[in-house]
């Protein structure tokens, strides 16, 4: 339902995986607070370094 609503507003939705993968969009990661399209987001998520 929400995905369809976002689509109607002209936004792309991207499934970034389970909550355990949410570190990929945390501060100081390539995908954090950056204007990007779905393809760019996928690329930024893939290159996010995991800091321990």
- Is residue 11 situated within a structural domain? no
- Is residue 4 situated within a structural domain? no
Which pLDDT does position 23 carry in this prediction? 94
Predicted TM-score of the model (pTM): 0.72
Which pLDDT does position 13 carry in this prediction? 86
What count of other Cβ atoms lies within 10 Å of the Cβ of residue 32? 12
- Is residue 10 situated within a structural domain? no
Which pLDDT does position 12 carry in this prediction? 85
Which two structure tokens, joined as six digits, stand for 33? 């607070």
Sign of CA dihedral 26, 49, 35, 6: negative
Which pLDDT does position 25 carry in this prediction? 93
CA–CA distance, 24 with 47 (Å, rounded to integer): 9
- Is residue 5 situated within a structural domain? no
What is the residue-level pLDDT of the chain in tens, covering all 52 positions? Answer: 888 999 999 988 888 899 999 999 999 999 999 899 999 999 999 999 987 7
Quote the domain boundaries for residue 41. 16-52
- Is residue 6 situated within a structural domain? no
Helix and strand numbers, DSSP H then E, in the chain: 2, 0
Which pLDDT does position 51 carry in this prediction? 79
Structurally, the chain folds into a number of domains equal to: 1
């Amino acid at each position: 339902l929400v995905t369809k609503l976002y689509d109607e507003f002209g936004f792309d939705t991207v499934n970034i995986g389970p909550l355990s993968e949410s570190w990929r969009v945390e501060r100081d990661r390539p995908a954090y607070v950056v204007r990007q399209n779905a393809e760019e987001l996928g690329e930024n998520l893939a290159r996010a370094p995991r800091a321990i």
